[in-house]
Amino acid sequence: MIRATLKSLAARKLRLAMSAFAIVLGVAFVAGSYVFTDTIDRTFDDIFGGLSSDVVVRPDLPGETDLFTGFATGTTTTIPAGLVDDVSALPGVERADGEIEDQSFFVLDTDGDVMTTQGAPGIAVNWHDGPNAEGDPVLQLVDGELPAGPGQVALDDRTFENSGYQIGDEVQFVSTGDEPRVSAELVGVVQFGESGSLAGASLSVFETRYAQELFLGGDDAFNRISVTASEGSSAEQVRDEISAILPGDFEALTGADVDEETASAIEEGLGFFNTFLLVFAAIALFVGVFLILNTFSILVAQRSQEMALYRALGAGRRQVTRSVLLEAFVVGVVGSTLGLLLGLGVAQLLKTVFGAFGLELAGGLVLQPRTVVISYVVGIVVTMIAAYVPARRASKVPPIAAMRDDIVSTESSRRVHLYVGGALTLAGAAAMAVGLFADVSDAALLVGAGIFAVFIGVALLAPVLAVPVLRVVAGWYPKAFGTVGRLARENALRNPRRTAATASALMIGMALVTAISIVGASANATVDKALDDGVRAQFVVSNAVGQPFSPAIAEQVSQVDGVDDVVSVRMSGGLVDGDQTFLQAFDPVAYSQAADLEMVEGTDELGPGQFLIGEDQAESKGLSVGDTVRLQLPGSDGEIELAGIYAQTPLLGGGVVVSQQTLEDGAVPPLDSMLYVIASDGADLAAVHEGLNTATADLPTVTVQDQDEYKQQSRDQVNQLLFLVYALLGLAVLIAVLGIVNTLALSVMERTREVGLLRAVGLSRRQLRRTIRLESIAIAVLGAVLGVALGLLFGVSLQRAIADDGLDQLAIPGGQLIVFVVLAAVIGVLAAVWPARRAAKLDVLRAITTE
């Protein structure tokens, strides 16, 4: 029996290839995601591993470190030079180097453009030659000289190479200081660490005194102390030794702890991407399971006569099942192996794409044993599971079936499908509802599981749903295409289970695309509405790279002719009653001139030590005017009082608003994130725009936008994210298309004799191709219709669920959805090309006499 199975496998290589194909794709995405994730991790571990010195002393910030660094504002709390001396005097300390670091100091290249990758920091530090924990220098001079005094700078080698500057040139910078524009003579080039990779950031190095002038207002102070332990002392000992003499608002950590913290913060930042990839891999695999299931069903159906013959010759049911499972195992192994290889390719591709965007991942790909194991387990297990159902069905093939051609699926199994499918759909919908609308902790997990269950449920129901849909989709075929149309319709309808299974792969892709497009359209509608209703200011000044900027800019802008008022908005993180919270700081009275802000209760006269909050948040937190909460900032820890409650606006999101003084008192650097510019009555807006552009001309990081441009930019941000999602979902649709090709080709092979007969009684090749094409279109449109319907459901409930979090406009992109269905029809045409050509090539006589 085993030999017979293997022989039959080997004899049908094409069949093997086609059924392995689905597995290859599914496994490739899983493997690709893991390999890429591991490669990212390795890269950051390399960059940050052993970066810090033995012990680091820094200001003690409340909450997690990235609560403040996340807004690139950090803290104004500094370490006085005297403390550096105290630390270096300790017996366990060999040396202590004061460090200055600024994260918003951007290098402009010779064309005056900002050099860092979108979102990456522009880092500036003071030079010192203290070693890292491994005793190696962190920075090495590779060209020129070290910056030795005011007006001198060294750049990292990557930035230097891309900038077009030569040593001796005057380099231009944009800073957040009082002088927004700085220039310095390039005297040297340094290399960071061993690889030199800064993951897209730029690094500018200055002499300490000059750095203090640039970043700390000339105080003899530092942001951090790097401590090197003397021979014989461990980092932990030295840390404890230093902690003992530190004032309360500073902390000492071992370098290893700091490095880990930094690396994991960055990995977390990229973590969404990994999650995204894995979710996508799950989708790919999920779609893949359908294809595999489908493929094996067809293969088994095709071989049911062979199976029946085995049974007639005395093979037991078990043997038949085992033979199918064995076949699945072989296919699974082959598919997983190829999938793993393809996965490496996928990871390499992603790495290249990342590199092209400036985020270079040094070194080769990381293939961990875990990835290999998971790939094989996933590939083989999925295939075996997918094969088990048809295998059991195969074992039930009665021996007399060897004599007959057609084996119809039993009524009872269809009823089981109906019940199980219905139950799963309902359970999934319930889980989604709970996750979306109730206040539970594992909401995302519930929603995910719910969507998964609904997918499977609907897929099980699909054979039942397919019949009425197909009657509509393909109902007009006979009228329009005569016999060819009737054949196509009947072929699509003859085995609803197979048709539905083929369509369900596309259904999933389409459902996701539809849901995303609804969320996207809603986000755009929400942004539009918020800006239409909410913004009265004629211009918005913001930073293109998402970094805050110097308050000096607000000063300059307010000098422009025709500008009536400038409202600055600052942002920071903070701990409110112990919860990490996003804070905005502005003068509410001025703000209400620029944008929508209506008080429901209390006053908008916001003083230091007070705050405002949105209606909904006040209600959910049970706050009323006069109540106090605890606010922790880098340099402060105290109670603030609720001064007023404002009507919910999408622009503010209902969050906490404090005065700018409150932030400054809390040692948050006084940097603006956004400026609303209000023009005077009757001012010539074009002239004002011109004036604003001139005022900010030497600051390429800052952009001036009128309302339309600002709206468009906000929309572009939403769309950019959408395109990324679409691109990946597009791959899911591609898998689905290949699935249709696969199934269609197999089912045409299954009908070889029928095709031969049709040709024998006079069907031309063209007519035959058209028949198959029409069938394919019906299947694809069926998948699209079911998918769009499901996607509508998902999209609308998703929008409803996050309506309170700001996405309060529901928009259904009707035109887009129609395009999806039309595209599906095109997909159907394309998917039919190969199977139709194959069928048309069949030799009539050969087809008729085929067994």
Partner 1 sequence: MTTEPSSPRTAARAVDLTKIYGKDDTQVVALGGVTVEFAAGRFTAIMGPSGSGKSTLMHCMAALDSSTSGEVYIGDTELSGLNDKELTKLRRDKIGFVFQAFNLIPTLTARENITLPLDIAGRSIDKDWFDNVIATVGLADRLSHKPNQLSGGQQQRVACARALVSKPEIIFADEPTGNLDSRSGTEVLSFLRRSVREFDQTIVMVTHDPSAAAYSDRVLFLADGQIVDEMTDPTAEKVLERMKGFDSVGQQA
Binding site for partner 1 (CB under 8 A): 404-406, 408, 482-484, 486-487, 490-491, 493-494, 753-754, 757-765, 767, 844-845, 848
- Output the smallest distance, CB 482 to partner 1, in A: 6
284 three-state secondary structure: helix
Helix axes 255-302, 317-356, angle to 10 degrees: 140
CA angle (535, 538, 539) in 5-degree steps: 100
Q: Which is nearer to partner 1, 603 or 767 (CB)?
A: 767
- Output the smallest distance, CB 846 to partner 1, in A: 9
Q: Are 67 and 189 in contact (CB under 8 A)?
A: no
User: How many Å apart are CA 290 and CA 278, to the nearest integer?
Assistant: 18
Q: Which is nearer to partner 1, 238 or 407 (CB)?
A: 407
Q: Which is nearer to partner 1, 97 or 775 (CB)?
A: 775
Q: Which is nearer to partner 1, 706 or 775 (CB)?
A: 775
Q: Which is nearer to partner 1, 328 or 768 (CB)?
A: 768
- Output the smallest distance, CB 730 to partner 1, in A: 34
- Output the smallest distance, CB 411 to partner 1, in A: 15
Q: Which is nearer to partner 1, 833 or 848 (CB)?
A: 848
Q: Which is nearer to partner 1, 30 or 487 (CB)?
A: 487
Q: Are 592 and 610 in contact (CB under 8 A)?
A: no
37 three-state secondary structure: helix
- Output the smallest distance, CB 492 to partner 1, in A: 10
* Element (DSSP H or E) covering residue 560: none
- Output the smallest distance, CB 491 to partner 1, in A: 6
515 three-state secondary structure: helix
Q: Which is nearer to partner 1, 677 or 832 (CB)?
A: 832
Tokens 């622009």 correspond to 651
- Output the smallest distance, CB 402 to partner 1, in A: 13
Q: Which is nearer to partner 1, 187 or 487 (CB)?
A: 487
- Output the smallest distance, CB 764 to partner 1, in A: 5
Q: Which is nearer to partner 1, 230 or 849 (CB)?
A: 849
Tokens 């209606």 correspond to 615
Q: Which of 671, 665, 647, 669 is nearest to 569 (CA)?
A: 671
Ramachandran region of residue 195, left (φ > 0), alpha (ψ -120 to 50) or beta? alpha
- Output the smallest distance, CB 746 to partner 1, in A: 17
537 three-state secondary structure: coil
Amino acid, res. 851: E
- Output the smallest distance, CB 824 to partner 1, in A: 24
Q: Which is nearer to partner 1, 424 or 763 (CB)?
A: 763
User: How many Å apart are CA 641 and CA 625, to the nearest integer?
Assistant: 8
* Element (DSSP H or E) covering residue 229: strand 224-229
Q: What is the DSSP string of 347-378?
A: HHHHHHHHHHTT----S-----HHHHHHHHHH
Sign for the pseudo-dihedral over CA of 824, 826, 830, 836? positive
641 three-state secondary structure: strand
Q: Are 807 and 519 in contact (CB under 8 A)?
A: yes
- Tell me phi and psi for residue 218, to 5 degrees: 85, -5
- Output the smallest distance, CB 379 to partner 1, in A: 35
Q: Which of 592, 603, 612 is nearest to 659 (CA)?
A: 612
- Output the smallest distance, CB 392 to partner 1, in A: 23
- Output the smallest distance, CB 489 to partner 1, in A: 9
Q: Which is nearer to partner 1, 519 or 779 (CB)?
A: 779
Q: Which is nearer to partner 1, 485 or 609 (CB)?
A: 485
User: How many Å apart are CA 204 and CA 215, to the nearest integer?
Assistant: 13
The DSSP letter of residue 410 is: P
Give the residues across from 98 on adjacent strands.
Answer: 225
The DSSP letter of residue 803 is: G
Q: Which is nearer to partner 1, 182 or 312 (CB)?
A: 312
C-alpha dihedral over 780, 785, 787, 793, to 10 degrees? 180
- Output the smallest distance, CB 479 to partner 1, in A: 13
User: How many Å apart are CA 186 and CA 155, to the nearest integer?
Assistant: 7
Q: Which is nearer to partner 1, 239 or 773 (CB)?
A: 773
Determine what percent of the chain falls in helix, strand and coil, rounding each to the nearest 5.
60, 15, 25
- Output the smallest distance, CB 4 to partner 1, in A: 25
The upper half-sphere exposure of residue 821, i.e. CA atoms within 13 Å in the direction of its Cβ, equals 15
Q: Which is nearer to partner 1, 169 or 490 (CB)?
A: 490
- Nearby residues of 808 by Cβ (< 8 Å), 6 or more positions away: 526, 650
Tokens 């906000």 correspond to 714
Q: Are 75 and 668 in contact (CB under 8 A)?
A: yes
Written as six digits, the tokens of 390 are 């048809």
- Output the smallest distance, CB 850 to partner 1, in A: 10
